[in-house]
Amino acid sequence: MKIRLSAIFIAAGFLLLLAALGLFFHNEKIQEDAAKASENLMPQIVEAIKIEQENPRKPEAVPPEGKKMISVGIDGQNYIGFIGIPALEIELPVMEDWDYEKLKIAPCRYSGSVYTDDFVVMAHNYKKHFGKLSQLVSGDAVTFTNMEGETTRYEVVSAEVLPENAVEEMTSGDFDLTIFTCTYTGESRIAVRCDKISE
């Protein structure tokens, strides 16, 4: 009986190990696909910016809530520009709005705008997306280049860990830019706060 129980436990342990390995490689594949998608998009974003600069849109009346961020459709998704974080050696396209499927491709605007100084950008914690946000320190540079080719420069002023459901805290405060991702457990959010650098 003891031998049979031991065999069952060994088999169960082996199956759990296989499941864990399968999950690990599945997650690695998702991260790799996301990294390739963003990498392949960047030349298209740069080309779209060049086209916008060569053929500027007619100025529109500015609505009461302020100037709108221009978006350009690429491969069925709308993009508003790209974010650069030199300390992490990343440049990534940013989608106009977010949902969970879009986050598998690139960072997304969560809320706000460059023009209203309340811009919030989110991404998954993939290694080549926002997985290393916790390494940023005060003074690190962050840039956002819109589809008109205008670059806004920021510097990191603080970082904090917020509960998963702290939506109001994520979007409140006097910060020009917040970039955030979830922790690896998914129970919290790492929020990096940035202020605009005056040119």
Residues 193 and 26: their CA atoms lie apart, in Å, by 32
Residues 196 and 100: their CA atoms lie apart, in Å, by 28
| Beta bridge partners of residue 53, listed in sequence order | none
3-state secondary structure of 182: strand
Which carries the bigger pLDDT value, residue 131 or residue 27? Answer: 131
Residues 29 and 23: their CA atoms lie apart, in Å, by 10
Q: What is the pLDDT confidence band of residue 6, given thresholds at 50, 70 and 90?
A: low
Give me 54's structure tokens. Answer: 């060569």
Residues 49 and 169: their CA atoms lie apart, in Å, by 33
Options 3.40.190.10, 3.90.930.12, 3.30.70.330, 2.40.260.10; CATH for 39-55+70-196 is 2.40.260.10
Q: Where are the domains of the chain?
A: 39-55+70-196
3-state secondary structure of 5: helix
- Asked if residue 153 has pLDDT above 80, the reply is yes
Q: For the segment 8-62, what is each residue's pLDDT rounded down to a tens digit?
A: 656 655 555 555 555 555 466 666 776 787 888 888 989 989 988 888 776 665 5
